[in-house]
Amino acid sequence: MSDGAGKLAVVTGASSGIGEATARRLDQDGWKLLLVARRADRLEQLAGELRDAEPLALDLTEPDAPARVRERAEQEGALHLLVNNAGASWRASFGDEDGGFENVRRTMEINFDAVLRLTEALLPLLRASAPSAIVNVSSTAGRVGRPGVGAYSASKFALAGWSDALYLEEKPNGVHVGNVLPGFISTEGFPQKQLTGLWLTRWIVSKPEKAAQAIVDAGPGGKAERYVPRVYGVVPALRHTFPRIVRRTLGG
């Protein structure tokens, strides 16, 4: 799977941030790309800068979105890689007026439900072209919860747990499932200004390009899981070993 020359990859959330960086990284390895996101202008611009890429502008929460992606993928050729990267977050505490069930529902819809629906639609194609791979972009917040991002954490916890199960289920079918868990990544949607503005915390913010490399490692590279940066892998270990201390620390 490490050689992507001429093979097709679907990358969601490709119009900016980690998705864009992943598309550029895969392009360097010779992958043929189907770029999926909502912003048509950004997708078309990116596709024009890559060697062999096609844009597909759509909202993955729409009922017909998985079928539309599958149809385009079938037109482009055998599918060898699916990168489920698209996601969103609306910061709010659960007890806030705008942070209750509806916020959790809409976050789960894009970060978890849409991933499952798209994967279900494309899984037959990935099995048919095995060895192939799926990479789900979860988050360090999918292992450790923090105040104000409970909905986001819930969706990413669900995605990480499902990824673990899917890995075991699809291994006999030749479809590898990798999980990438970024920490703080400076992107358009998550600029991390509160961290990058202080020298004391600037070092914990990583770049989309590092996440893109982790996606390559966890997909074509066959690795089960990657934290970005890797030192963040210590956080879940501490959470499970010293839950009270970690909760007190994250709670300020």
Per-residue pLDDT at 123: 98
The dihedral formed by the CA atoms of 34, 76, 116 and 26, expressed in degrees to the nearest 10? -40
Classify burial at 88, counting beta carbons within 10 Å of its beta carbon; exposed 0-12, middle 13-18, buried 19 or more.
middle
What is the set of active-site residues?
A: 152
Per-residue pLDDT at 203: 56
- Residue 220 CB partners (closer than 8 Å, separation 6+): 1, 2, 3, 4, 29, 81, 133
Per-residue pLDDT at 200: 45
Per-residue pLDDT at 199: 45
Q: For the whole prediction, is pTM greater than 0.85?
A: yes
Which residues in the chain land under pLDDT 50?
Answer: 196-200
